[in-house]
Amino acid sequence: MQKKACLYIRNHVILAILLLISLCSVAQESKVESKAYSRMLNTLLKHSVNEVSVTEAAQAKDVIFIDSREKQEYEVSHIQDAKWVGYDDFNMNRLKEVPKDRKIIVYCSVGARSENISLKLEEAGYKDVSNLYGGIFEWVNQGYPVYNTEGQTNKVHPYNMLWGVWLNKGEKSKEK
């Protein structure tokens, strides 16, 4: 339990530093959000799995989207027909009906959690797994739709206040 708390604090400190660095560079850039977001992602991600851009993902055929966020995030909105697998309580059994040779694109808010889940899928024998670079935030920022049980929505779960700064379009859900 203490190890989990230390990791939680460490991750938030790293996030705060990344956010500060990115915000400090804002005044010097003409396309602030995309450059700052890209810098943050390049620092945060390990780039240990295949990555796919939002444009490539949106154009992909016969693909299964896997949502690796927490259930409450998924319920606010998700990419259409995405299968939820979770992160903290990730369970490979949620994918037992997904053939190991199908094209899979895993996403979360920005790509960090989905990168870890992508590695787990590869280790389990899935052959064609990619991480959505920039996550659902970039998906929405580029104007692609998200859905909930009632249909298309503008709401997106911001994960928390710090991460939510990267969501420039859509409506940040106040649900926790």
Instruction: List residues with catalytic annotation.
Output: 108
User: Given the structure tokens 């708390």, which residue do they identify?
Assistant: 5
Asked if 66 contacts 90 with a C-beta cutoff of 8 angstroms, the reply is no
- Specify the DSSP class assigned to residue 165: T
Sign of the four-CA dihedral 54, 57, 16, 14 = negative
Instruction: Report the candidate in 59, 43, 38, 4 with the shortest Cα–Cα distance to residue 135.
Output: 38
Gap between the Cα atoms of 39 and 127, Å rounded: 29
Hey, what are 14's tokens?
């790293």
For residue 74, give the 3-state DSSP assignment.
helix
Helix, strand, coil percentages (3-state) for the chain, rounded to 5, are 45, 15, 40
Gap between the Cα atoms of 65 and 132, Å rounded: 9
